[in-house]
Amino acid sequence: MKRIFVFGTLLLAVALMINSFKLKSAAEQSAITTQFKDTLLYAGEKHFANMQQLTFGGDNAEAYFSFDGKWIIFQRTNAKEGILCDEMYIGKVPAKGEKFAPKKISGKGRTTCGAFLKDGKHVVYASTHLGADSCPPVPDRTKYGNKYIWPLYDSYDIFMADLNGKIVKQLTTSKGYDAEATISPDGKKMLYTSTKDGDIDLYIMNLKTGKEKKVTNLLGYDGGAWFSPDGKKIIWRASRPKTEAEIKEYKELLAEGLVAPTNMEVYIADVNGNNVKQVTAFGNANWAPAYMPDSKRIIFASNHQSKRGFPFNLFTINEDGSGLEKISAEKSFDAFPMFSPDGKKIIFCSNRNNGGTRDTNIFIADWVE
């Protein structure tokens, strides 16, 4: 979702790495607060204007627009409010002076990776509620050298629900992890990630007939995929273990229903899975990619400029890997960027303006070319 990292994700792989950082003293708290100075807009963020913060507190992530650009869907965790794992919310994009007032539409278990259908009356998201009413357990990362490990819950399936939260259809039923769903521009197809064939691959399903096609087949994690606005291409993040040791570790984790997606690059392909091209080769985690409104340029999140694992910032790049431009200048975490259907607004999730806490919130801004 899209989940490295929803990778269904909250937090997505790296967001969790950031959120796992622990302060040890009041002095450290003060130092961190000073380092991550609270502000909505940082110097150099010339592509953002009229920025608004939509949520305040907790972990809010993977906020995506409806087809008409009037609503967003996102996932939220906030232990202080009794939300112990990701639950799905929708909310109307506020006009100037209005308050953002989201409502919960998911039920039991853990949810991730929401998306609106084109009819504006339904959404899809992945949920573990058929496995148990409670939140599924998180991995014990101490067993794996404290590296970021993300669970591929086999109880995740993808469901269609109305805007009041009533599930009207179960879209996936295979054994294993099914999540990270997005919808094609014509509203007819769903692109998602599954482990149904023994690896972590992408599939495209015809929503009317249920027929589907597997569109990736190389060893490694393929996820967080989107269609281009013109519907001709897909874009996603992928990890490709190459050495014998990397392959061994990947397969061993996968056998336990786990993945360690901390090294990922951005890939694109034709909508049928042909002509696969690797766009980035920066190392570290390059993820949460999406096509920009022109269906040519790409926006994504990355920590490739940092040796410490963060900050994560937003970047744009051309399909051929040229023209890299840093878009955000926050000093800890910016990710999950998405443009409104008309291309006039951008929404993303960030640790900015959180008072030195670990909170991740949703921000929306006008996009300035």
- Inform me whether the pLDDT recorded for 119 exceeds 90: yes
Average pLDDT, the chain: 91
Would you say residue 300 lies in a domain? yes
Low-confidence winner among 145-149, 156-160, 245-249, 306-310 (lowest mean pLDDT): 306-310
- Inform me whether the pLDDT recorded for 27 exceeds 70: no
Mean pLDDT of 118-141: 97
What pLDDT is recorded for position 33? 40
What pLDDT is recorded for position 261? 86
What pLDDT is recorded for position 97? 83
- Inform me whether the pLDDT recorded for 22 exceeds 90: no
What pLDDT is recorded for position 30? 40
288 closest CA partner among 311, 265, 309, 272: 265
pLDDT in tens, 249-268: 999 999 999 999 889 999 99
CATH assignment of the domain containing 352 = 2.120.10.30
- Inform me whether the pLDDT recorded for 32 exceeds 70: no
Would you say residue 41 lies in a domain? yes
Share of the chain above pLDDT 90, in %: 86
pLDDT in tens, 272-296: 999 999 999 999 999 999 999 999 9
- End-to-end, the C-alpha distance of the chain in Å comes to 27
Does the CA dihedral 169-206-233-194 come out positive or negative? Answer: positive
Would you say residue 7 lies in a domain? no
Mean pLDDT of 92-102: 93
Higher per-residue pLDDT: 10 or 211 = 211
Q: What is the CA radius of gyration of the chain?
A: 19
Would you say residue 305 lies in a domain? yes
Is the whole-model pTM more than 0.75? Answer: yes
298 CA to centre of own chain:
15
Number of structural domains (the chain) is 1
pLDDT in tens, 301-337: 999 999 888 899 999 999 999 999 999 999 999 999 9
Would you say residue 198 lies in a domain? yes
Would you say residue 111 lies in a domain? yes
pLDDT in tens, 44-59: 999 999 999 999 999 9
CA distances from 285 to 17, 27, 78, 280, 346 (A): 12, 31, 25, 10, 21
- Inform me whether the pLDDT recorded for 1 exceeds 50: no
What pLDDT is recorded for position 349? 98
Would you say residue 316 lies in a domain? yes
The secondary structure of the chain, three-state, reads CCCCCCCCCCCCHHHHHHHCCCCCCHHHHHHHHHHCCCCCCCCCCCCEEEEEECCCCCEEEEEEECCCCCEEEEEEEEHHHCEEEEEEEEEECCCCCCCCCCEECCCCCCEEEEEECCCCCEEEEEECCCCCCCCCCCCCHHHHCCCCCEECCCCCEEEEEECCCCEEEECCCCCCCEEEEEECCCCCEEEEEECCCCCCEEEEEECCCCCEEECCCCCCCEEEEEECCCCCEEEEEECCCCCHHHHHHHHHHHHCCEECCCCEEEEEEECCCCCCEECCCCCCEEEEEEECCCCCEEEEEECCCCCCCCCEEEEEEECCCCCCEECCCCCCEEEEEEECCCCCEEEEEECCCCCCCCCEEEEEEEECC
Would you say residue 5 lies in a domain? no
161 close to 122: Cβ distance less than 8 angstroms: yes
What pLDDT is recorded for position 160? 98
Mean pLDDT of 28-40: 55
What pLDDT is recorded for position 241? 96
What pLDDT is recorded for position 28? 40
Q: What are the two backbone dihedrals, phi and then psi, of residue 254, each rounded to the nearest 5 degrees?
A: -60, -40
Alpha-carbon distance of 14 to 303, in angstroms, equals 9
251 CA to centre of own chain:
23
Range of the domain at 42: 13-367
Mean pLDDT of 331-358: 96
What pLDDT is recorded for position 81? 95
pLDDT in tens, 202-239: 999 999 999 999 999 999 999 999 999 999 999 999 99
